Amino acid sequence: MAEVSATVSWLMKFDINAIVKSKEAFRLRLAALPVAEKLRLLDAMRERAVTIRGANPTEPRGVREEPSRYGSQRREADE
């Protein structure tokens, strides 16, 4: 058990600041990819979403999200 925790602490650093920084750097690297490459990633993500949806017949087929209300000014009460 001691060996396991030694390995884990060697592999992973639970420094939240380092984790946040590394995530930010990864997001920036992704954002800097050529547009065509990013669009291929969108294709791949959609492909995966469709596969996951198809694999679970008990779930409704159509994934729904709150539709955009483009052009509508939100009232204070909505915020």
Partner 1 sequence: MNIQGVFEMLNRMEADGLISRYAIGGAVAATFYLEPVSTLDVDVFIAFKAQPESIIISPHQIFDYLQKFGCKMEGEHVVISGWPVQFLPPTGPLIEEALARAVEVDIEGIPARVFTAEYLAAIALQTGRAKDKARLLQFIEANALDSSRFEEIVNRRGLGRQWQKFQQQFLGS
Binding region for partner 1 (CB under 8 A):
24, 27-28, 30-31, 35-36, 38-39, 41-43, 45-47, 49-50, 62-63, 65-66, 68-74, 78-79
Residue position matching structure tokens 């909505």: 78
CB of 48 to partner 1, least distance (A): 8
Closer Cβ to partner 1, 5 or 61, answer by number: 61
CB of 8 to partner 1, least distance (A): 29
Closer Cβ to partner 1, 2 or 69, answer by number: 69
**Contact yes or no for 25/17 (Cβ under 8 A):** no
Q: How far is CA 55 from the centre of its chain?
A: 20
Q: Which amino acid is at 20?
A: V
Count other C-beta atoms under 10 Å from residue 53's C-beta: 14
